[in-house]
Chains A and B, each alone.
Chain A
Amino acid sequence: MSAAPAIAARTVAREKGNAFPVTVVCLCILLAWYIAAIPMNWVITGPKIDAAGGGLANVLSFSWNDARPVIPAPHQIAAELWKSVFTVAPWSVKSLLYHGWVTLSSTLLGFVLGSLLGVALAIAIVHVKFLAKSLMPWIIASQTIPILAIAPMVIVVLGSIGFTGLVPKSLISMYLCFFPVTIGMVKGLTSPEVMQLDLMRTYHASVNQVLWKLRFPASVPFLFTSLKVAVAIALTGAIVGELPTGAIAGIGARLLQGSYYGQTVQIWAALFMGSFLAAALVWLVGVAERFTLRRMGVKP
């Protein structure tokens, strides 16, 4: 079998081929960021630079190292991230890991609830004809309401009946993330070909058998595509849900605190933490997707 090493070599080559453009794009963004930081921070740093006597060295050092800049330089964000992740105890309120975990826990609960709701709605819509026409407009309307407008209402109303903390935030995540799952799964559950469905009819298969032996397996690729979108917006939902709670804990709380006190470096560090979380979640769904599809014998 001489073909196997050849294929392996080609795969490695392709991955190596990816690394170069990715690095170049990252470097370009960093470069643009550093350059843009100079004019953007000028309102704050301009007088200080003048006082120090001007010169390129002063321009660079003041523009890129101010404690409360309009836009912090990348190394400042990296330093803040390092400080708030590695130099403080993970359970302290100063730790981004703590805040990340608070957000992550309500994200995950909301994601699970939203995915279940999304799949359940899709199954109902596919099986009951009138639901497709009567339910779909409401589902679409639900997503046209700005979440920022209803999140505080949800939090306040639930808070008044004793639900605080995790659950209200999760409900906002759920509200946002069921939608792509419903849309994707309706498509997926109706994806089997006419012949595959006719085959079930010739067997006199029950509705349940058609669902679990044909419709559901056929919808799996659609499910994972939807879940990737859903998990990312579940995180957004959780962060938005943290904003109106008076900013106690979570990435959203960090963002709000940062903007109260003009701590732009802290805001950006929290933003990056949120992005890392989102990327990790989407990546995990991708891993689950590859594993599941391989188990299902999909052509690699």
Chain B
Amino acid sequence: MAGPVISARELSLVFQTADAPVYALSKVNLEVEDGDFVSFIGPSGCGKTTLLRVIADLEQATSGSITVNGMTPQEARLKRAYGYVFQAPALYPWRTVERNVGLPLEIMGLDNASERIARNLELVNLKGFEKKYPWQLSGGMQQRVSIARALAFDPKLLLMDEPFGALDEIVRDKLNQQLLELWDRTKKTVVFVTHSIPEAVFLSSKIVVMSPRPGRIIDVIDTNLPRNRTLDIRETPEFLALAHRVREGLKAGHSYED
């Protein structure tokens, strides 16, 4: 595709609250290229989730401009340009795994539903769990179902809002590895929100370091790690150097406060 998948120029979002306006995003400039794995990292209140929600048209910017696939976020949403994974699985408890994954297909009226469901459940290693209800699965499995659901209609762009935040470290490592393989195999563009430095460095081709009050970008790091990496890479000097740079960036952001 020609041009960036996401392009933000001087993007700001101000929430009007009772006492004082809250600057959730302040003059954000960002380009996400096709096939990138971009992580937004920062402490809570830095606007990383807000930025993701603006891209998804779940929130509207107050000034500046942003395009998704060259369109406004609203046009992109109406064209079903992205799959969104929330902080919680947000599965519908009265639907089985396969019917949860099939939900977007039903809504969009897409055919080959059963083939798409099977393919995406296989992609997240959940073959054989089609007939289970969400409560019969662990938290990690539920989140994998929600990833399969986001991929079911084959969007080119995957937006993930701290999808593994509620999971323990062991499960998280495993899912990170699987997500990376999935990204490598499907060549999708992923935008990923996290507050874990190792997670951001391990997954990303580009790390966007953000800082709160006002929410802004303070560093953009291209990682240049190989696409098909394993968890072992976390012991290498390159990895540690990147993690150090992210940590320094987060520290610098905090020094603005008070």
A residues in contact (CB < 8 Å) with B: 193, 195-196, 198-205, 209, 213-214, 217-218, 220, 296-299
Query: From residue B22, how far is it (CB to closest CB) to chain A in Å?
Result: 19
Proximity bits, B54-71, A CB within 8 Å = 1, else 0: 001110000000000000
Chain B residues with Cβ under 8 A from A203's Cβ? 80, 103-104, 107-108
Interface residues on B, range: 20 to 34
- B94 engages A199 (CB within 8 Å): no
**B108 neighbours in A (Cβ, 8 Å):** 203
* B86 engages A205 (CB within 8 Å): no
Tell whether, in the assembled complex, residue A196 and residue B94 are in contact, meaning their CB atoms are under 8 Å apart.
no
Shortest Cβ gap from B257 to chain A (Å): 29
Secondary structure at the B interface, as helix, strand, loop or mixed, is: loop
Q: How far is the CB of B212 from chain A (nearest CB, A)?
A: 22
Query: What's the minimum C-beta distance from A168 to chain B, rounded to whole angstroms?
Result: 39
Q: Give 27 pairs: A residue, B residue, CB < 8 Å, sorted on A.
A: A195-B86, A195-B88, A195-B90, A196-B90, A198-B84, A198-B86, A198-B90, A199-B84, A199-B86, A199-B90, A201-B58, A202-B58, A202-B77, A203-B108, A204-B77, A205-B107, A209-B107, A213-B92, A213-B103, A214-B92, A217-B92, A218-B92, A220-B94, A297-B94, A297-B95, A298-B94, A299-B135
**Chain B: CB-nearest residue to A200:** B107
- Shortest CB distance A204–B (Å): 5
CA distance in complex: A196, B93 (Å): 11
Which A residues lie within 8 Å of B88 (CB)? 195
Q: What is the CA–CA distance of A198 and B146 in the complex, to the nearest angstrom?
A: 14
Does B238 sit at the interface, judged by CB under 8 A?
A: no
| Given known contacts A202-B82, A203-B107, A203-B108, A193 and B77 CB-to-CB distance under 8 angstroms | no
Cβ distance A236 to chain B, nearest Cβ, rounded Å: 33
Do the beta carbons of A204 and B133 come within 8 Å of each other? no
Cβ distance A297 to chain B, nearest Cβ, rounded Å: 4
Q: Is B96 engaged at the interface, CB distance under 8 Å to the other chain?
A: yes
Residue in chain B with minimal CB distance to A205: B107
Q: How far is the CA of A133 from the CA of B84 in the complex (A)?
A: 34
What is the chain A residue whose CB lies nearest that of B78? A204
Q: How far is the CB of B210 from chain A (nearest CB, A)?
A: 21
- On chain A, the residues within 8 Å of B103 by CB distance are 203, 213
Q: In the docked arrangement, what's the CA distance between A203 and B92, Å?
A: 15
> Cα distance A214–B92 when bound, in Å?
8
CA distance A226 to B86 in the complex (A): 32
Residues of A within 8 A of B106 (CB): 213
Q: How far is the CA of A206 from the CA of B93 in the complex (A)?
A: 21
Instruction: Take A204-B77, A204-B78, A297-B133 as given contacts and tell me if A198 and B58 are in contact as well, using a CB distance cutoff of 8 Å.
Output: yes
Cβ A196 vs Cβ B56 within 8 A: no
Q: How far is the CB of A40 from chain B (nearest CB, A)?
A: 53
Q: Nearest CB to that of A299 among chain B residues?
A: B135
